[in-house]
Amino acid sequence: MEHVTLSELRIQNLRRRFDSVVALEDMTFDVKDGEFFCLLGASSAGKTTTLRAIAGLEELEQGKVHFDGQDVTDAPVQGRGMSMIFQTFALYPHLTVEKNLAHPLERAGVDRSEVRKRVGEVAELLRVTHTLKRKPNTLSGGEQQRVAIGRAIVQRPKLLLLDEPLTNLDAKLRHDMRAEFKRLHRELGMTMLYATPDQLEALTMGERVGVIRDGSVVAIGTPRDLYENPQDTYVAQMVGSPPINFFSATAATDGQINLPFLEAQLPAPGVQSGQPVTLGLRPHDISLVGEGPERSAGFRANIKLTEPLGDVTVIDVNAKDTAMKLVLREEVAAKFKPGDDIQIGFDPADLHVFDGSNGVRLDAG
């Protein structure tokens, strides 16, 4: 049996199909002991199937799941030392909150006084003590969510799987719960594997993020890595909000490119003459000339639309028929209205250069 030393959870080459649809294909990644790991992917990319496979709820055609030094691929669901928070919360509707919380402990054979003590503790931790005697359907969404968390952590699992736990909550609660998950992770120190389609959740909570696409992991890194050095155009557009601007261009000479809306040529190391490239520029990296840091490239653009978000405003502009988004501070943006021309610019060092055909990053680092 292969021995796992480095990581608590090692996922190797998982493969799963539903009829002819491939759900997982060569899914491979490791989660370190005590880590908060996020799986970021669009819907039906395979996030839920991955979590269910790790929990043992899904049969695999191929691949191995190692956990805590053991191959658990064919182990029964019961007794893996994992628990899961489901997208629908999956509270037991016929049992009171207290019974819901007690269930994992009762099944583990914990004696009654200890069960009562630990249910009390976890209810206290999650501030649901007042709901203990009630049935789940009488609770608010946030309370149901916290009970679901409580039921998942009450038996102190070594690994907590979270399947889009915030999808069914409203925006305000989502914000609160993000902080709550981070707090729990810090206080309980358990390994957490969190699946989400929301880049904001992945970036704010994950210590490392795995981007998945069509059933496999295409990139793993810290949120900063993925944001600043996306390895290809897919990762670049998955991470960051508003999404990154892409421009098609062709290299004029080796290491130099032309952008349709710019007079000057820009340096792009590693690019060969005549090579088609895709350039990525984050909306946050564009600013007004004279407002931001040193500008190496300035150009004129026409405002099409403004989207005030409170502290900042997202502005859609056209620069010589090239559409792009930029983000300005609210007090700066307030001076402009759609139809105005503005002089904007960016630092060429902020440009991300990708291969025009396969989308792979060209400027390493």
Partner 1 sequence: MARKYREVGKAGWGYTALTTVVGFIYFFPVFWIILTAFKTRTDALAVPPKLFFTPTLDNFYSVFFRTSITTGNSQATDMGLYFFNSIFIAFTAVGFAVIVGTLAAYAFSRYPLRGNDTYLFIILTTRMMPPIVVIIPIFLMFRISGLAGSYWGIMLLYTAFNIPFSVWLVKSFFDELNPEIEDAARMDGSTERRVFFGFCIPQILAGLAATFVFGLILTWNEFLFALLLTGVDTRTVPVAMARTLGGEVGVDYGLLAAIVTLFLIPIFFVTFLLQNQLLRGVTFGTVKK
- Which residues of this protein are in contact with partner 1, per CB under 8 A? 52, 55, 57, 77-80, 82-84, 86-88, 90-94, 103-104, 107-108, 137, 151, 155
Nearer to partner 1, 88 or 248 (CB): 88
Cα–Cα distance between 287 and 293 in angstroms, integer?
Answer: 9
Cα–Cα distance between 353 and 344 in angstroms, integer?
Answer: 20
Nearer to partner 1, 91 or 353 (CB): 91
CA-to-CA separations, 278 to 250, 260, 324, 352, in angstroms, rounded: 8, 12, 14, 8
Give yes or no for a contact between 347 and 291, defined as CB atoms under 8 angstroms apart: no
Give yes or no for a contact between 9 and 191, defined as CB atoms under 8 angstroms apart: yes
- Residue 92 C-beta: closest distance to partner 1, Å: 6
Residue with structure tokens 């991300």? 352
Nearer to partner 1, 57 or 309 (CB): 57
- Residue 176 C-beta: closest distance to partner 1, Å: 23
Kind and range of the H or E element at 224?
A: helix 223-228
Nearer to partner 1, 162 or 239 (CB): 162
- Residue 8 C-beta: closest distance to partner 1, Å: 18
Nearer to partner 1, 5 or 43 (CB): 43
- DSSP class of 227: H
- Residue 262 C-beta: closest distance to partner 1, Å: 52
- Residue 137 C-beta: closest distance to partner 1, Å: 7
User: Starting at the edge strand that comes first in sequence, how are the strands of the sheet with 297-308 ordered?
Assistant: 286-288, 341-346, 297-308, 312-319, 322-329
Nearer to partner 1, 43 or 78 (CB): 78
Residue with structure tokens 């130099």? 256
- The residues near 48 (Cβ < 8 Å, ≥ 6 apart) are 87, 163, 164, 195
Kind and range of the H or E element at 116?
A: helix 112-125
- Residue 11 C-beta: closest distance to partner 1, Å: 18
Strand-pairing partners, residue 298, are 345
Nearer to partner 1, 126 or 344 (CB): 126
- Residue 160 C-beta: closest distance to partner 1, Å: 11
CA-to-CA separations, 334 to 108, 172, 311, in angstroms, rounded: 60, 26, 11
